[in-house]
Structure formats: C-alpha cells, structure tokens
Structure 1
Amino acid sequence: MGNLNIAVLGPLGYAKDLGKKGTTSDITFYNLKKGDDTVTLIEPTRYPERLAPLFYAASMADAALVVIGEITPTLGEWILMLDEARVEQGSIVLQNYLTPRDLAPLLRGTVLERYEFVDADPIVLRDRLLACAHARPSVAPAPGVVGTVPIDHHFNVRGIGTVVLGGVTRGGIRKHDILKVYPGEQAITVRSIQKHDDDFDWATEGDRVGLALKNIESDDLDRGFVLSNDPEIRARTNLVARAALVKYWPAPLAAGTVLHVGHWMQFIPARVEAVQDGGDRRQPTLTLALEKDLVYLPGDTAVLHYLEGGKLRIVGHIELA
C-alpha cells in the first residue's frame, strides 16, 4: 500500500486520461487506484494566468509528469518552478516530434536533467505510476510520532462537520490525535481519517488525506493553514533568510520590492525590508516583512515569486531557520 503525488504539467486536462477527476478549484486532483496502491495527480488549473496554482502543484508533488509539445516561456517557468521546489523525481513525455536532444540545453543543471523520457501511452503511464506508488509503501506511524498536514481545501459536510483535505508532509497522524491549527494554535481533534475514500486509523508522510475535525468550524480555516503536533513548528511574519536567486534574475533585489513567499500551501506577499549581499547579488540575505504568518519547520525552504516579473516570475528560494 503506497501513495504517490504527481504534479502534471502539460496541456490542461491531460491527467483526465490517467485518473478519475476529484476536487477542483484553481488546482484539480485526479485519482488513480489499483488494489491498495494510489496515485494523486495534481494539475494547476488556473495557471498560467495565476502563478500560485503552479507553485501549489509543485509543492505537493513527490514527482512530476511533464508533457512537452513545444519550447515556450511557459516551459521555462515549469522548469524553474520544479527546480526551485526541488521536485527531484519525474518523467517527461515528448510530443510534436521533439527529441531529448532538443531539450538538453534547457534542462542542463536542473532537477529535470535526471527525469526519464517515457512513452505517451496512457495505459503504460498508469502502470508506471502505480508501480512507483507500490515501491514506496505506507507504514503506520509509531506511537509518539508527530505529524504535519498543510490544508489545501476545507468545507462543512452535513452530518460529519468540518472536513479538510491535505497531505501529510512530515511524520504521521492517528485518529483521535489532538493537533494545533497554525497560525493561532487552536487545539482540534482528528475525528476520522480517509485516504482515497477509505477509512483508516492513521496516515503517514506522503499520504493524501481527508480529515474530519472536532472543535473547529470550516469558516475558521483557510488554505495554507497547517495542522501539527510537532513542537518544532514555527509561525513568523518577519524573516531574515539566506536566498539563492535563479541564474536568469537580471538585477540585485532591492528594499521595497514585494515578493510572494511560497511554502507548503501558503503563498504570502512579503516586502523586502533590507538586502545584504556581501558582494554576491545572487546569494543575498533578505529581511522580509510578511503580510501574515508563514508556518514552517526549521530547515525548510520556500520559493520566492515576483508576480510583476512578466516572463520571469520565479526569483529563487530562501532557507528557513
């Protein structure tokens, strides 16, 4: 029994031939299941007019499926996002007579350089994805293990109450666990756990879950909120962080610039308050004032975006301490 989360970047709706359509908003989920093995396919539905859905898809992904029919600025943005979000595993489907050689200069030095070129046949792709899911089995978390679940959707279900959808990004959770909601630290109880519509007593890292919660209303939640019982979790509106900018970024970052910080299911405006680059403009230390709390674990990275950047909207990443 295993689950694999796949960001599908290609023609809109490409994933419909691979899985059954599920939750739809600015991102769309498709579900593939065989026996106890499951694959969650994630498409950025509202991209490219909005950048956030592309980040969300990459942020949730264990791996990517990239479908390339032409070389365009959009392809360049896909490559930058997957590289900055560190989606290190993936597959590439080529269309319109493109060859691996055509793409080699674009992929060189990025995580996509290690992706495999695969057959476009949907049956072959489904089997391949399910085999990858089977190779990473879920194991029940040991007693005392802490867990973290970023929320991507939330709603009220008649007769059940508040339900959230998300993925276990660290550790594991169990039915009846008491977790805190960040930001704010309100305590809630996990009433029940579902994985791909089946009831479970537990979920572990990599699992996509639906959780029924006790002691909170859906209206009190928002996308990007985080459920956790990890004592290391942090919530900050001010950060001092080391950045690494993409090689294409044309100029030093300046105080006053408004960026968006992406981490888990958060996409938060942040003003650059100060920049110290020590002579290396591509690796500055940034002082950032965020519009609201960023929730994270020490050692995580977050992707920097500049929405006014035209064809270059991905700035780089920061290290969170």
Structure 2
Amino acid sequence: MSNITVAVLAPNGFSDALGKKGTTSDITFYNLKRGESTVTFIEPTRYPEKLSSLFYAISLADRVILVVDEITATFGEIVLMLQCAGKAHGHIIFRNYLTPDQIAPLIKGTVLEHYETIENDPIGLREKLLDAAAKMMAHQKVKDGAGNGAVPIDHHFNVKGVGTVILGCVTHGVIRKHDSLKVLPTAKIAQVRSIQKHEDDAESAVTGDRVGLALKGVEADDLDRGYVLTNDPAIRSSLVVMGKAQLVKYWPAPLKEEMVIYLGHWMQFLPSRLTKVTAEGDWRMPELTFACEKELVYPPGARIVLHYLEGGKLRVVGTLTLQ
C-alpha cells in the first residue's frame, strides 16, 4: 500500500467531493482508497483564525491543492507559508473567473510558480492522485528497508478494548509491529501492538504512510500533539535551539530579542522566546537562539517555520535551519 498526503487549501468542505471524511479537529482528514493506493486529504479547518491549523496541514503534506477564489491577504499568507515550508509539488484551481495571469506577479520566485493549473473536476483530481500513489508502489520495497523511522503524533485517544491509539504520518524510515519506540520529548518507551493504514492491518509502515498505531507501555493522557514516536537515534529534543534564519522579503524590520516567535516543525507549533540575535551584514539572514516553552523534537539540520502571531496581517516570519 502506498499513500500520498495532500493539503487542500480551499473553502472548508471542498474535500467532501474528494474522499471520505475522517478525523476532525482544527484540521480535518479525508480518505480515498483504490486497491493498494491511498490518498489522505487534509483541510486546515480553523484557518485563518488559527495560523497553526494552516501550518499543520501544510507540514504533513507531500503535495498541495490550492483553490484560488479571490486575491486577498489570506492568499498572500498561504503563499508565504508554502514557500517557507518548501512545498514544491502542487496544483492550483482557479474559480470566480480568476486566471493564472492575475496571480503570476504574486507567486513569481516562489514554489507556486511551478504548480500545475488544473480544472475544478473532483473526479479527475481523484483519479490523478490515485494514479500518482500507484506509481509510488514501485519504490515501496526500497523504502521498506530504509532505516529507523519517526511518527509525529497529530491525534491520540483511548479505544475501549484496544488501549492507547495515536494517529500520524511516517516522516521517514520504517516502523514495524512490536517495535519499541521512544516517546520524545518524554523519557517513556512505547511498544507498537498493531499498525493500521486506512483501516487495514499492516506489519510495517514506511515514509509517507498515514498510520494508526495501537501502543502499550504508555497512556493516552501521557501524550500530546507534536510528541514523536521514534527508533531513530539521530532525533533529539531540546529547550534551546539555534540556527541560521532567512526572513521573508516582506518582513519590515530586524527581529529583536525577547520577541515571542512560534516554531513550527512536524506537528509542533511551540511558543519560544528569542534570546539572541546576531546579524552580520544582511539583517534578513541572522543567527538566532530560542528558548522554547516546551522541548522541540527535531532531526539534525531541521527546517523550522517561524511565526509571529502579533504581527497583524503578516504572521509568517521566515525559516530557521537548526544547527
């Protein structure tokens, strides 16, 4: 089985025509399946009220469907988020008589410049994405043995008769039934009792798979969104992180120490205080140090999206590449 995860950036409910509605919170999942090919659609249900909703949907995605009804500040914010998250694969659907020429100046030099313009045809779109998932099957055996894995938790709960269950997407590597996994940033260890992928039992899950894991050794109340289950020794957690930032071109002024910036990585959206700013030359490319409210979990060289929620209409600051 192979899976593609797609962020659907459109009016809420657009994905009703694409898949079967699943888990709903500040992000809503829809599932589509044909044989061994599956597609997971995610809508940022609480956006634009909650910027984190947009970040989570985009962070999880392999590719993007962007529906453009009008050119607004919200559209501009989505463009900045997609650029900072590095989401290079996507499709754009134009409605309300908008045309590609009208947004071309706004997306020039961004990842969206290479998105494919497609018709507003749900049936054709479903087939297109299922075909793309099917083509991934040829690479499945290679991925199956591709090292230790990680699953950031996006939802967790207790199921009567089963116990603790988490939902998440495999970011890299492989997770197998009976694996013992660290629960970062805690010191707990959880064992994988069973794995489900789109309601089918499985022995393992690999990069890109959407999974439900039944766990033992940990209670649902011990978990939180953003915690990471992993057997990868390279993944670390820390209250203090530092790295090289690149601010978006619209950011109006240098960042100042003591600002509260939200760090977005995987399923984490953590408030953090900027404790040190070092800018030699271009102030849009400073070295930054943050003290996080909770430990950030990340692999070496992780790319973090920076958000400033008191920035008015401009809430996406830029990126930070961790040391």
Deviation string 1:235-281 (CA, Å, 9 cap, x unpaired) is 01111211000000000000111000000000000111111110211
- Within the candidate set 147, 155, 158, 1:156 is matched to 158
Q: Distance in 1 between matches of 2:172 and 2:125?
A: 28
Structure 1 stretches lacking a partner, 5+ long: none
How far did residue 139 of structure 1 move? Answer: 3.3
User: In 2, are the aligned partners of 1:261 and 1:270 still within 8 Å (CA)?
Assistant: yes
TM-score (norm 1): 0.98
Q: Distance in 2 between matches of 1:317 and 1:239?
A: 13
Q: Distance in 1 between matches of 2:20 and 2:152?
A: 23
Per the alignment, in what secondary structure is the counterpart of residue 184 of structure 1? coil
User: In 1, are the aligned partners of 2:144 and 2:173 still within 8 Å (CA)?
Assistant: no
Q: Structure 1 residue runs of 4+, over 6 Å off?
A: none
Q: Distance in 1 between matches of 2:218 and 2:145?
A: 25
- In the TM superposition, what are the counterparts of 1:122-133 in structure 2 within 5 Å? 122-133=122-133
2:15 corresponds to: 15
User: In 1, are the aligned partners of 2:144 and 2:206 still within 8 Å (CA)?
Assistant: no
1:301 corresponds to: 303
Q: Distance in 2 between matches of 1:13 and 1:50?
A: 17
Matched AA of 2:159: V
Note if 1:276 corresponds to 2:273: no
User: In 1, are the aligned partners of 2:9 and 2:43 still within 8 Å (CA)?
Assistant: yes
User: In 2, are the aligned partners of 1:156 and 1:163 still within 8 Å (CA)?
Assistant: yes
Q: Distance in 1 between matches of 2:58 and 2:35?
A: 26
Q: Distance in 2 between matches of 1:252 and 1:13?
A: 39
Q: Distance in 2 between matches of 1:145 and 1:4?
A: 20
1:249 corresponds to: 251
Give the count of matched residue pairs. 321
1:218 corresponds to: 220
Structure 2 stretches lacking a partner, 5+ long: none
Per the alignment, in what secondary structure is the counterpart of residue 7 of structure 1? strand
How far did residue 320 of structure 1 move? Answer: 1.5
- RMSD after superposition: 1.1
Per the alignment, in what secondary structure is the counterpart of residue 78 of structure 1? helix
Q: Distance in 2 between matches of 1:115 and 1:128?
A: 15
Q: Distance in 2 between matches of 1:136 and 1:291?
A: 39
TM-score (norm 2): 0.97
Q: Distance in 1 between matches of 2:141 and 2:64?
A: 23
Q: Distance in 2 between matches of 1:199 and 1:185?
A: 28
2:62 corresponds to: 62
Matched AA of 1:16: D
Q: Distance in 2 between matches of 1:95 and 1:141?
A: 38
User: In 1, are the aligned partners of 2:5 and 2:60 still within 8 Å (CA)?
Assistant: yes
- In the TM superposition, what are the counterparts of 1:1-321 in structure 2 within 5 Å? 1-137=1-137, 138-139=140-141, 142=144, 145-321=147-323
Per the alignment, in what secondary structure is the counterpart of residue 170 of structure 1? coil
